[in-house]
Amino acid sequence: MKEIQSERLLETIERVYYNVPWYRSKMQEQSLGPEHIQSLDDLKHLPFTTKQDLRDNYPFGLFALPMSEIIRLHASSGTTGRPTVVGYSRRDISVWSEVIARTLTAAGVGKDDFIQVAYGYGLFTGGLGLHYGGEKVGASVIPISGGNTQRQLQLMKDFGSTVIACTPSYASYMAEAIKESDIPRNEFKLRTGIFGAEPWTDNMRHEIENKLQIKAFDIYGLSEIIGPGVSFDCEYQNGLHINEDHFIPEIIDPETKKVLPEGELGELVFTTITKEGLPVIRYRTRDLTRLHFDTCQCGRTLVRMDKCTKRSDDMLIIRGVNLFPSQIESVLLEMDETTPHYLLVVERKNNLDTLELHVEVEDRFYQDRISELQNLNRKIKTQIESTIGLSVNVKLVEPKTIKRSEGKAKRVIDKREIR
Ligand SMILES: [Zn+2]
């Protein structure tokens, strides 16, 4: 594995140095050329890449291939202004299918299965990612996309879906819906779930497994690296196996940015070593985890990572959508009627994440005329929703009622039990 990684790393460094001016100048700033990167040990000298770097190079600035070689574009959801855009070559799509095929295989999914892909199809990588991986293992793929729960249940029963792929919170919601429907459980053939795109704990796994009477597998990924399929659960579920022949993981201290010794908890960083369209060097995921190098009971030697439930920044993941409080803030700052004092309350109700925004209204706009306030409420709701791509309940509050803080403002109350 080390040999493969070394060889592929050197190829990748050549690729970005000669094809991506941004990486070339980053490396030159540190007096680094491709000749200084001789082996895996030199990885630690290379510059980091962040989500902001992708935004700054919007839309295609970090691509290492001409657009004529890019056959697919995806973009992150729920970001202000510039989303992060990712591009795939034909070979990238094939690598992506391969890593998801491994994920499905490890979950015991094969050609006799029916996979109901209830991740969103579109710019989000969930739907199409699972779709191509499902086809690769030869399963019958049902591209139903998210939502419309009654139709999900109908087709799940009629088609005999054996596998469901969606977010864990939607799986939990579906379990409730099955219970409330009059269809007896034994009319469903469902036995396996592939769940990801948001953090979830082992407790939630057991809850879903009990309620749906299936085995639930975790799939991890992020669009900047390739999408879902970066790492996956095997049948022993003692950490997610990383497809390290395509993505080299490192664990760093998020403050000092130094690589931490084996087994320590820190921020997960990935370098892609086979990607052609958008190779990324030392991408800071902001997810906190640790790596396990011992051989798994399943026999796979791929390094494992703990389930990610914590982050090193303030990003929230709500119903699969990434949300930074700063996005809310910038919308509020653009509106005269509001102050930048706000509070986000995230809850999990009926197994679905809900978002509530408390926002202070400017003194001069705060009046007794209910209709005015209702209009303002609607206006804020519309602006926020169109920016973040999530529904939100807006509560207008009187000026100076949101608690001020001396230090870092507390913007978020997360009541979900995912930590
Ligand atoms: Zn294993």
> 48-93 pLDDT, tens per residue?
999 999 999 999 999 999 999 999 999 985 445 678 999 999 999 9
Residue 300 alpha carbon to ligand 1 centre in Å: 5
Taking only the tens place, the pLDDT of each residue in 347-397 is: 988 778 899 999 988 887 777 677 888 889 999 999 999 888 889 999 999
CA of 295 to the centre of ligand 1 (A): 8
pLDDT band at 406 (very low <50, low <70, confident <90, very high): low
CB atoms within 10 A of CB 67: 11
Distance 234 CA to ligand 1 centre (A): 5
219 half-sphere exposure, CB direction, 13 A CA radius: 34
Per the CB < 8 A criterion, the answer to whether 308 and 288 are in contact is yes
Answer whether 0.85 is exceeded by the pTM: no
**CA 191–ligand 1 middle distance (angstroms):** 20
8 A C-beta contact, residue 97 and residue 133: yes
Neighbours of 365 (CB within 10 A): 16
Distance 104 CA to ligand 1 centre (A): 13
Which of 90-99, 165-174, 207-216 has the least mean pLDDT? Answer: 165-174
Average pLDDT over residues 29-37: 97
SS3 content of the chain, % helix, strand, coil (to 5): 35, 25, 40
Query: What was the pLDDT predicted at 418?
Result: 56
**Band of residue 169 on the pLDDT scale cut at 50, 70, 90:** confident
226 neighbors 279 (Cβ within 8 angstroms): no
How many angstroms does the Cα of residue 106 sit away from the middle of ligand 1? Answer: 8
CA of 223 to the centre of ligand 1 (A): 24
Dist. CA 302 → ligand 1 center (Å):
8
Å from CA of 244 to ligand 1 middle: 14
DSSP per residue, 186-241: GG----EEEEESS---HHHHHHHHHHHTSEEEEEEEETTTTEEEEEE--TT-SSEE
CA distances from 320 to 119, 134, 170, 297, 395 (A): 9, 20, 10, 31, 23
Helix axes 149-159, 168-180, angle to 10 degrees: 80
149 Cβ contact list (under 8 Å, min separation 6): 173, 174, 177
Of residues 27 and 329, which shows the higher confidence score?
27
145 in Cβ contact with 97 (< 8 Å): no
How many A from CA of 220 to the centre of ligand 1? 15
Asked if 228 contacts 196 with a C-beta cutoff of 8 angstroms, the reply is: yes
Min mean pLDDT across 219-223, 303-307, 370-374 is at 370-374
Kind and range of the H or E run holding 117: strand 114-117
3 state DSSP class of 375 = helix
Neighbouring CB atoms inside 10 A of 36's CB total 13
Residue-wise over 182-200: b if at least 16 C-beta within 10 A, else e? eeeeeebebbbbbbbbbbb
What integer pLDDT is reported at residue 407 of this predicted model? 55
**C-alpha separations of 183 from 80, 157, 163 in Å:** 43, 9, 18
Q: Is the pLDDT reported for residue 284 higher than 80?
A: yes
Distance from residue 264's CA to the centre of ligand 1 (Å): 20
With tokens 């630690």, the residue in question is 44
Q: How confident is the model at residue 193 (pLDDT cuts 50, 70, 90)?
A: very high
CA 154 – ligand 1 centroid, Å: 34
From the CB of residue 355, how many other CB atoms can be counted at a distance below 10 Å? Answer: 22
φ, ψ for residue 266 (rounded to 5)? Answer: -170, -170
Name the residue with higher pLDDT: 315 or 35: 35
Which range has the worst mean pLDDT, 121-130, 244-253, 296-305, 361-370? 361-370
What average pLDDT is seen over the chain? 92
Separation of CA 114 and ligand 1 centre (Å):
24
Query: In 3-state terms, what secondary structure has residue 329?
Result: helix
Q: pLDDT, tens digit, for every residue of 287-301? A: 999 999 999 999 999
